[in-house]
Amino acid sequence: MNKKLFTYKKSGVNISTADKFVSFISKISSKKKGNKKFNNIGGFGSISDIPKEFKRPKIVACTDGVGTKVEIANFLNKYDTIGIDLVAMSVNDLIVQGAKPILFLDYISINKIDLKKLKSILKGIVKGCQIAKCELVGGETAEMPETYEKSKFDIAGFAVGVVDEDKILNKKKIKNGNLILAIPSSGVHSNGYSLIRYILNKKRINLKKNNFLKKELIKPTKIYVNEILNLIKKDLINGCANITGGGLADNIKRVIPDKLSADIDLTKIKTLKIFNWLKQNNISDKEMLKTFNCGVGFCLIIDPKNLKKINKFFSKEFKPYVIGRITKGKNKIRLNAKINWI
C-alpha cells in the first residue's frame, strides 16, 4: 500500500535550509574581533566571561526590535542596514544605565527562509555588534508559514551588558542646575515607521522613485556606545536618555528624579530635513514630538563645568549641544516654545 508520507518540509519548514543559515552565522561571527575562547553558535546556550575590568559587576539586559522599518527594507529589497538598527535599539538602551554591551542575540521569524535575505540581515547585525564592540553569541531563526504572509518577516534583538556598581547611572546623580544636551540622530532611527508608511500610502508616493526618502528611510540608527562609555569613564555625565518611541518628553522624564524637572527649550533643537518633510504632511508639533526623535537621538545630563570637555569625544556630525537644564518642579518635563522647522 503506497501512502504519501507527511514531512515537516511539506508543511513549509525546511530544516536543511535553516541548517545552512546556522553554518553561515557561525562562519561570519567567527570572523569578528573579540573573545574567541567559546564557540557558542549552534549550541544550546551561550557561554561568556565577565570582563576582568569590572570589580563589582552588575548585569544589565535589554530587548527591542525595529518595528515596521522591516516593511521599508522589504519594499526596497535592502536588508544590510536593519541589522545595525536592531543592535542599536538595544545597546543604546544599555548605556543609559552605564553598562558596557558584551553579548547580543537575535531572533528572526519569517514566512519562508530566504538565505540571501537572511544573510544580508545577519551581516548588518554583525556590523552593529562590531560598532558596539560586543559579541554576537547566538539567536533563533523561526520559519513560520501561514503566520507570516509571503516574504514577510520580523526581527528582535537581545543585549546583555555589564556595569561596575559604582558606575551605574541613576537618578540620584542628577541635580538642579545640570545642563541637558542633545546628541543629533542619524535620521528617523527605528520609530514612527507605521505613521511614515501611512503617509506614503495616502500620498501615493513611490518610495523607489524618490531618492531622498529612499536614502533617509533606510538609514541605520546611530549607535552611541563608544562615545557614551568614554564619557562615563571620565565621570563627565550624571544621566542620559535614549530618544526612541515617545520622543523627547516620554524618554527624558524616565530618568528625572522626583521634585526636579527637565526644562527643554524646543527652539534650540537642530532638526533634520527628513523631519521637516514629515512636518509638511499635516502632522502637528505635538504628534511629531510624541512619535519621532525630531533630530535628537540621545540626551546627556551633565554638570555645567563639564560642557567644554565633552565635545572632543564626538565627531562633527554628532556634536552635543545644550537644549535645556534641570530645574525644581513637579512635572519632570517641560517643553517650552516650538521647534523651528526649516
Q: Is residue 201 part of a domain?
A: no
CATH number of the domain that 57 lies in?
3.30.1330.10
Same-domain check for residues 180 and 324: yes
Q: Is residue 144 part of a domain?
A: yes
Average pLDDT over residues 189-202: 97
Of the candidates 98, 59, 55, 62, the one whose C-alpha atom is nearest the C-alpha of residue 238 is 98
pLDDT, tens digit, for every residue of 63-75? 999 999 999 999 9
**b/e for 303-313, b at 16 or more Cβ within 10 A?**
beebbeebeeb
Query: Residues 181, 320: contact at Cβ < 8 Å?
Result: yes
Q: Look at the alpha carbons of 209, 210, 212, 216 in this order and tell me if their dihedral is positive or negative.
A: negative
Nine cell digits for residue 243: 530618544
Query: Residues 307, 331: contact at Cβ < 8 Å?
Result: no
**Residues whose CB falls within 8 Å of the CB of residue 342, separated by 6 or more in sequence, listed in order:** 271, 273, 276
Same-domain check for residues 160 and 81: yes
Listed range (14-23, 145-154, 333-342) with the worst mean pLDDT: 14-23
Average pLDDT, the chain: 92
CATH number of the domain that 246 lies in?
3.90.650.10
pLDDT, tens digit, for every residue of 242-273? 999 999 999 999 999 999 999 999 999 999 99
- Indicate if the pLDDT at residue 280 is higher than 90: yes
Q: Is residue 231 part of a domain?
A: yes
DSSP 305: G
Q: Is residue 204 part of a domain?
A: no
Same-domain check for residues 178 and 258: yes
pLDDT, tens digit, for every residue of 70-90? 999 999 999 999 999 999 999
From its phi and psi, is residue 187 left (phi > 0), alpha (psi between -120 and 50) or beta?
left
Q: Is residue 202 part of a domain?
A: no
Query: Residues 135, 104: contact at Cβ < 8 Å?
Result: yes
Query: Residues 87, 131: contact at Cβ < 8 Å?
Result: yes
What is the rounded CA–CA span in Å between residue 188 and residue 245?
11
Same-domain check for residues 143 and 38: yes
Among 132, 167, 202, identify where a domain stops.
167
Q: Is residue 67 part of a domain?
A: yes
pTM: 0.92
Average pLDDT over residues 205-227: 97
Beta bridge partners of 59: 162
pLDDT at 297: 98
Domain count, the chain: 2
pLDDT at 232: 96
pLDDT at 34: 47
Backbone angles phi, psi at 31, to 5 degrees: -80, -20
pLDDT at 33: 46
Query: Residues 193, 207: contact at Cβ < 8 Å?
Result: no
Query: Residues 161, 99: contact at Cβ < 8 Å?
Result: yes
Q: Is residue 9 part of a domain?
A: no
pLDDT, tens digit, for every residue of 292-309? 999 999 999 999 999 999
Same-domain check for residues 249 and 327: yes
Q: Which amino acid is at 118?
A: L
Query: Residues 217, 200: contact at Cβ < 8 Å?
Result: no
Same-domain check for residues 163 and 175: no
Among 137, 167, 197, identify where a domain stops.
167
pLDDT at 46: 81
Of the candidates 250, 264, 241, 257, the one whose C-alpha atom is nearest the C-alpha of residue 174 is 257
Average pLDDT over residues 120-141: 94
Average pLDDT over residues 44-53: 85
Same-domain check for residues 127 and 181: no
Cα distance from N-terminal residue to C-terminal residue, the chain: 76
Query: Residues 67, 58: contact at Cβ < 8 Å?
Result: no
Nine cell digits for residue 325: 537644564
- Indicate if the pLDDT at residue 18 is higher than 60: yes
What is the rounded CA–CA span in Å between residue 319 and residue 182?
8
- Indicate if the pLDDT at residue 38 is higher than 70: no
- Indicate if the pLDDT at residue 227 is higher than 80: yes
Same-domain check for residues 115 and 151: yes
pLDDT, tens digit, for every residue of 138-186? 889 999 998 999 999 999 999 999 999 999 999 999 999 999 999 999 9
What's the domain range around 241? 171-187+222-336
Same-domain check for residues 179 and 156: no
